[in-house]
Structure 1
């Protein structure tokens, strides 16, 4: 539940951060699309709007990183303290689909292995038996 809330918040913050960055005036003028100055009678001056957008960008960036750290912590809390090399995990890998035996119980006899793929013995059995030895190669002619 916490991960879902943090993920939705992170998506909203990401979209807002992208929008705020795109609204800022281009300092380099690479594409020639920096917002114009406008008249002096507006609600905010160009400098005030730039300060507001910069401050908003930095706040959204901090929120983005806090959300990312929160998602990492929430993901690790749900995973729990089980390790890959935990004793139960090793037992389940070695045993396979069987459940680990209870303490003090005798393990059941292993079932007869079933063949799923041909082996080298099957290959040798399918080849025709060589009754006569192969002829020796002829000696090279002398020059």
Structure 2
């Protein structure tokens, strides 16, 4: 009887340890991979990565987008059409000094993939990405909430 209790206790401890370890290091970005539709574009936030920033008080975030034109005419999209809103309500536009920011015209039925780079305060754990295109107004409220990865 005593041996059974020891084995049961060891099993429960092992199971608990596996659950704790499996949760470590994972990002809980619920909206990564989610698609939103606005202005005849199916926009998917494909990934978020932390990059090195030249500013000690800021962190650089790379957002990877897949944008499909589901309309009948050519449409444009780019990293400048998105902003990052932090918990304090401030909006942070695309980091314009990075030449790898995506942007182009998308023929009907085609997909444009690419990264956008944004610099935000270093203490942010969760942010909201908002589609706010320069070229046209959108009536759709298109947002993604993501957890900022750690180093």
Per the normalisation by structure 2, the TM-score is 0.29
Which has more strand, going by share of residues? 2
Which has more helix, going by share of residues? 1
Per the normalisation by structure 1, the TM-score is 0.31
Bigger Cα Rg? 1
